[in-house]
Chains A and B, each alone.
Chain A
Amino acid sequence: MIYVVGGLALAIFYTAAALGIAIWQTDLHWFGDITLACQVTLSPLDQCRLDTIAAGWETLAGLCMAALMLITTLFLAQGRQTVKRWTLPPNTFERSILYRLFIIGVLTLLCAHFFTRITGPDQLGRLAMIEREGVFTSLENLCWPILLQLYVTDRSRIGRYFALTLLLVVASLAFFRGTLLLILIFGIGFYLLDFIWRILNRRNHWKRYRPILTEQLIIGIVVSLLLIPAVITDSASRKTYILSGQSTTNTSSAARQPASSLQTPDPNITPITLLPTGLGERQIMQRIMSPLYHASMARKLADTVPPPTAWDGLARKLRLSDQPNLNEHLYHAIYPSHPAGQTTSLFFGEGAAWSSAPPLFWIVSAVLFLFLLALAGERVGVPIGLLVGLAIWRGYTGGLIDILPSLMLQIIAITLIAKPWMKRMGTLR
């Protein structure tokens, strides 16, 4: 359950950071993409900022309330009782044919992706590459949480190393640094926390867990040495891209920047020239704040334009419809000239667009639903704690409906791969 609590803690931390920056940054003219988002509802920037801060407080309150219920329930459900723990036996990888088939399938997918990458045109921009390799990215996004779940559940070294190797390849092929970050946070950070928690609760077991802790630390160092320079290079290339006058989100959005001489969003505001100094910091702050602004826009836009329904979103995720889902609809509203993309409108945006009650209620219910799912999985012996923890984070950013189809597919896959081999192993306390 540490992954579930961790996913929620991550969401709370992110919201608090975004809210803090939104309160602190009073001058939005420095943030091109946020200014664009505010212009959709024709709100003056100050009003837009105040609406966003209100959305931030409501999101934070909802998440904290859900966290309170979750932690209290976990504490009360376990208390000082003896709790059985499910785990995979050490030789699952050798015995489970589905496990091996899954690993072979992911390997084939990664090879195909790599082949497409190296045989494609050299001069394609980042956005064009994302579009060209979209199918591979979607399938990898479906697979890597399963790999990560197997990695933290499996007790066989060979299975763990296979999963880890494939995860690193996925992270290196991914277009989004968030993938790598989540693999590090959930696969190493929370995994280590889980072990420390168990050691604290079991006396004289340091010797048993020491090899695993050492292994994790070595993996952490190796991964950092291999991938962090690549991330720094990638960030530097994006910075050059921005300095060349293009937004990271949309190549054509620069045309709608308020600095344009023709554009007059507010005659009372003096245009400020965007200086390259501190651009990186502003980009990071903008990235952190954007989901809150998108969520606030979702609420305001839903008042004037009917948003796509939840069924549209589900059908779109299952590739049964070409109609845009809520996040695509918002992206199109904010960056109309770009053909495809999605915003991150949070649980809040989903609640604001599809519920008649304040979004706070939906935020609490969405987290409780995922928590109930994790409890049910634990009860029947399907290891889905990490999948649900990740789903809380991903759902928090993109909405529950957005992640539900992939979560269900992942749970089915992990049930088929691991369930027949799950054994009750010892006790926690």
Chain B
Amino acid sequence: MKGLQRHLLQLMILLLIGMTLLQSTWVYLQIDGAHRIRVMYHQHLPPNCFPLEIQRRLQQHLIKDVPGITSNQIVISSFADKLHLSLPEISKPRDFYVNLENILNEQIKCLSNEMFSLEKTNIQQYGFRLNKVESIQVNSPRTLDYVSILINIIFCLFLARLFLKKKAQPLK
């Protein structure tokens, strides 16, 4: 019984060490200087309109215009009256995103006509305006990663102490 307990403890310690090493490797392998572009557009849409169709068309446009980008790499969200776009860093000048703003505005005009049957005078008040383009470094270790690794190490030490205690006890 004691022998089995010791083996179980060894197994748990190995599992924990393995997990900590995997996590550390994962975190540090990711320091590759990868950047993503985050673009923010102010959006003013017709009441109750939700821009899923606009997102679809925007995604299609980006895939067509930026070679090498896939739909999975483009993340779009709508939050606090803003359209947020995140994609891998591509060497595109700011004009590119201003151009996207024009495309978005064309889309909203088009959609307003197609789906909302709004009059031309009303359409003018809706649209998108480029607010911010920023480049952020992704895949860098964060505080929570260090905290998590530290907790694993402490727990591993606790188990090791338990193991040593068990080892000191004579087998029956």
Q: How far is the CA of A306 from the CA of B136 in the complex (A)?
A: 10
Closest to B146 in A: A355
Cβ-defined contact, B52 with A264, below 8 A: yes
Which residues of B does A touch, CB under 8 Å? 1-2, 5, 8-9, 12, 15-16, 19, 23, 26-27, 30, 38, 46-53, 55, 75-81, 84-86, 115-116, 136, 138-145, 147-149, 151-152, 154-155, 158-159, 162, 166
Q: B5 near A76 (CB under 8 angstroms)?
A: yes
Q: Is the CB of B155 within 8 A of A263?
A: no
What are the 8 A-B residue pairs with the smallest beta carbon separation, nearest first?
A304-B84, A365-B148, A262-B48, A354-B144, A355-B144, A303-B75, A365-B151, A304-B77
Instruction: Tell me how far the C-beta of B29 lies from the nearest C-beta in chain A, rounded to whole angstroms.
Output: 10
Q: A354-B142, A355-B145, A357-B27 are in contact. Are A301 and B162 (CB under 8 A)?
A: no
User: Would B162 and A333 count as touching, CB distance under 8 A?
Assistant: no
- 8 Å CB contacts to B: which residues of A373-420? 375
Which of B26, B149, B158 is A372 in contact with, Cβ under 8 Å?
B158
> Given known contacts A303-B86, A356-B139, is B78 in contact with A40 (CB within 8 Å)?
yes
Cα distance, A262 to B79, chains bound together (Å): 20
Q: What would 29 A/B residue contacts be, using CB atoms closer than 8 Å?
A: A39-B78, A42-B50, A69-B15, A72-B8, A79-B1, A79-B2, A263-B48, A263-B50, A264-B49, A264-B50, A303-B75, A304-B77, A304-B85, A305-B84, A333-B77, A354-B142, A355-B145, A356-B145, A357-B23, A357-B27, A357-B145, A361-B23, A361-B148, A362-B148, A365-B147, A365-B148, A366-B151, A368-B152, A372-B154
B155:A368 contact, CB within 8 angstroms: yes
Contact B162 A356 (CB under 8 A): no
Min C-beta distance of A267 to chain B, whole Å? 7
Contact residues of A: prevailing secondary structure: helix
A interface bracket (residues with beta carbon within 8 Å of B):
35 or more
A382 to nearest B CB, angstroms?
18
Which residues of chain B are within 8 angstroms of A304 by Cβ–Cβ distance? 38, 75-77, 79, 84-86
Q: Is A355 a contact partner of B151 (Cβ separation < 8 A)? A: no
A interface residue numbers (CB < 8 A to B): 39-42, 44, 69, 72-73, 76-77, 79-80, 255-256, 258, 260, 262-267, 300-301, 303-306, 310, 332-333, 336, 350-351, 354-358, 361-362, 364-366, 368-369, 371-372, 375
Q: A260-B48, A372-B154 are in contact. Are A361 and B19 (CB under 8 A)?
A: yes
Cα–Cα, bound, A368→B38 (Å): 35
Of the candidates B46, B50, B76, the one having the most CB atoms from chain A within 10 angstroms of its own CB is B50
A372 engages B155 (CB within 8 Å): yes
Find out whether the CB atom of B155 lies under 8 angstroms from the CB atom of A69. Answer: yes
Inside 8 A of A357's CB, which chain B residues have their CB? 23, 26-27, 145, 148
User: Do A39 and B79 touch across chains, with their CB atoms under 8 A apart?
Assistant: no
Shortest B34–chain A CB gap in Å is 11
B77 touches A42 (CB 8 A): yes
Residues of B within 8 A of A310 (CB): 143-144
Q: In the complex the two chains form, what is the Cα distance from A300 to B55 in whole Å?
A: 15
Residues of A within 8 A of B53 (CB): 264, 267
Known: A72-B12, A304-B76. A356 touches B47 (CB 8 A): no
Residue in B8, B145, B166 whose Cβ sees the most chain A Cβ within 10 Å:
B145
Q: B144 contacts which of A40, A76, A332, A351 (Cβ < 8 Å)? A: A351
B146 CB to closest chain A CB (Å) equals 10
Compute how far the CA of A266 lies from the CA of B15 in the bound complex, rounded to whole angstroms: 46
How far apart are A237's CB and chain B's nearest CB, in angstroms?
Answer: 29
A355 adjacent to B8 (CB under 8 Å): no
Task: Tell me which of A42, A77, A260, A362 contacts B51 (CB under 8 A).
Answer: A42
Question: Is the beta-carbon distance between B162 and A332 smaller than 8 angstroms?
Answer: no
Shortest C-beta distance, A39 to chain B (Å), equals 6
